[in-house]
Amino acid sequence: MTRKDAGRSSAWQAARAAEPLLAEAGIEESRFEAEYLARTAGGLTRAQYFAGAPLDDAGAERFAGFLERRLQREPAAYLVGEREFRGRMFQVGPGVLVPRPETEMLVDIGLGAAEAGARIVLEVGTGSGAAAVSLAAELPAGSAWRVVATDISAHAILVARANARRHGAIADFVLADLAGPVGEADAVLANLPYIPSGEIDALEPEVSRWEPRTALDGGADGFALIRRLLDDCATRLHPRLLALEVGFGQAHEAAKLVKAAGASPEILPDFNHIDRIVVARWP
Ligand SMILES: C[S@@+](CC[C@H](N)C(=O)[O-])C[C@H]1O[C@@H](n2cnc3c(N)ncnc32)[C@H](O)[C@@H]1O
């Protein structure tokens, strides 16, 4: 700590003062969140933070801004402007869903499909592009694979393209309703909106107030878009495989829809043992 820094409050002190405010606003893990926001505002490592590094004026101002927004239950990822996914940082912000760790499973399925011979992998509803960009970045270089991703949101397509540039990943991002003009895919991955319309308002405020409705709303029963995509796959795209992310308690209903579309379903649990992915395989 320099002489100039003496007398300034440390990031740790600022975080400790913020912690009860966050808790009062209903934020779980208020200690961790206060630390994360203070460290990010000050550009500090954990070691610097715990060693009592001060927040300079700009850092203190940034922290105050973060805190004000977080108390309104805006997601922390929107405040800091990024979120980690499969070890890479992705630009996010209002207008795109914050990528969730369970969606990383879709990338593993895409990699497995490519290894088994799929050449064109399509992600439908790419949002920030986290899954498509990760897949493109993780496929062995110099190969003939092609990653294509769609979204109905023009803003999401811009963010996904920026994330692809950030990671030097080559993928085509297409503004489209579901698969839209894409005429060919060997494997399809999708984390489409699956929350029943009537249940969105009861979700935690970070989701219901801040994340885009078009990223959440799956129609009356949550399956409106999943049904349409299954139908498009079965009647027009004819991929070998479609992997669908679904919500808590939805996997068995999704498996029934997969069977009705002429495919064999497989249900895969996530790291919390929640049935999360339904894979459809056509003969
Ligand atoms: C649950 S979010 C998933 C985003 C991203 N794949 C992820 O996992 O972080 C669903 C995404 O599907 C997009 N979407 C909604 N309706 C769509 C449609 N009819 N066609 C294409 N994309 C759609 C939304 O804009 C949103 O980006």
224-230 long-range contacts (CB < 8 A, ≥24 apart) are 225/125, 225/178, 225/192, 225/193, 225/194, 226/190, 226/192, 226/194, 226/254, 226/257, 227/257, 228/178, 229/124, 229/178, 229/179, 229/188, 229/190, 229/192, 230/257, 230/258, 230/260, 230/261, 230/263, 230/280
Residues 178 and 60 reside in one and the same domain: no
Residues 127 and 162 reside in one and the same domain: yes
CA distance 200 to 276: 19
- In three-state secondary structure terms, 151 is strand
User: Range of 130's domain?
Assistant: 82-281
Residues 154 and 54 reside in one and the same domain: no
Q: Into how many domains does the chain fold?
A: 2
Q: Which atom of ligand 1 is nearest to the CA of 132?
A: 6
User: What one-letter code names the amino acid at 15?
Assistant: A
Strand order in the sheet with 275-281: 172-175, 146-151, 120-124, 187-190, 241-245, 275-281, 264-269
Within 8 A by CB and 6+ apart from 229, the residues are 124, 178, 179, 188, 190, 192, 242, 244
- CA of 152 relative to ligand 1 center, distance in Å: 7
Cβ atoms 280, 233 nearer than 8 A:
yes
Residues 51 and 98 reside in one and the same domain: no
Residues 194 and 154 reside in one and the same domain: yes
CA distance 121 to 239: 9
CA distance 4 to 250: 58
Q: What is the pLDDT of residue 237?
A: 97
Domain CATH code at residue 95: 3.40.50.150
- CA of 122 relative to ligand 1 center, distance in Å: 13
CA distance 228 to 176: 14
Residue at which a domain ends, from 47, 72, 97: 72
The residues lining ligand 1, judged by C-beta closer than 6 Å to any ligand atom, are: 97, 99, 103, 124-128, 130-131, 150-153, 156, 177-178, 191-193, 214-215, 225
Residue at which a domain ends, from 43, 72, 101: 72
Mutate-to-test residue for ligand 1 from 100, 103, 161, 191, highest number of ligand atoms within 8 A of CB = 191
Q: What is the pLDDT of residues 146-188, one digit of tens each?
A: 999 999 999 999 999 999 999 999 999 999 999 999 999 999 9
User: What one-letter code names the amino acid at 188?
Assistant: V
Residue the block writes with tokens 């300079």: 56
Q: What is the pLDDT of residue 48?
A: 96
- CA of 199 relative to ligand 1 center, distance in Å: 18
- CA of 253 relative to ligand 1 center, distance in Å: 20
Q: Is 77 domain-assigned? A: no
Residues 227 and 107 reside in one and the same domain: yes
Q: Is 3 domain-assigned? A: no
What is the number of helices (H) and of strands (E) in the chain?
11, 9
Q: What is the pLDDT of residue 6?
A: 42
- CA of 251 relative to ligand 1 center, distance in Å: 18
Q: What is the pLDDT of residue 8?
A: 65
Q: What is the pLDDT of residue 112?
A: 96
Residues 139 and 205 reside in one and the same domain: yes
Which one, of 213, 211, 245, lies nearest residue 92 by Cα? 211
Cβ atoms 64, 9 nearer than 8 A:
no
> pLDDT 10s digit of each residue in the chain, 283 long?
443 444 468 999 999 999 999 999 999 999 999 999 999 999 999 999 999 999 999 999 999 999 999 999 999 999 999 999 999 999 999 999 999 999 999 999 999 999 999 999 999 999 999 999 999 999 987 668 999 999 999 999 999 999 999 999 999 999 999 999 999 999 999 999 999 999 999 999 999 999 999 999 999 999 999 999 999 999 999 999 999 999 999 999 999 999 999 999 999 999 999 999 999 999 9
Q: What is the pLDDT of residues 211-225, one digit of tens each?
A: 999 999 999 999 999
Residues 122 and 254 reside in one and the same domain: yes
Residues 26 and 129 reside in one and the same domain: no
- CA of 24 relative to ligand 1 center, distance in Å: 33
E strand or H helix at 46: helix 46-50
Cα separation values, 265 from 94, 131, 158, 279, Å: 34, 22, 33, 6
- CA of 1 relative to ligand 1 center, distance in Å: 47
Mutate-to-test residue for ligand 1 from 151, 188, 207, highest number of ligand atoms within 8 A of CB = 151
Mutate-to-test residue for ligand 1 from 135, 152, 194, 211, highest number of ligand atoms within 8 A of CB = 152
Residues 56 and 192 reside in one and the same domain: no
Q: Are strands 275-281 and 264-269 parallel, antiparallel or unpaired?
A: antiparallel
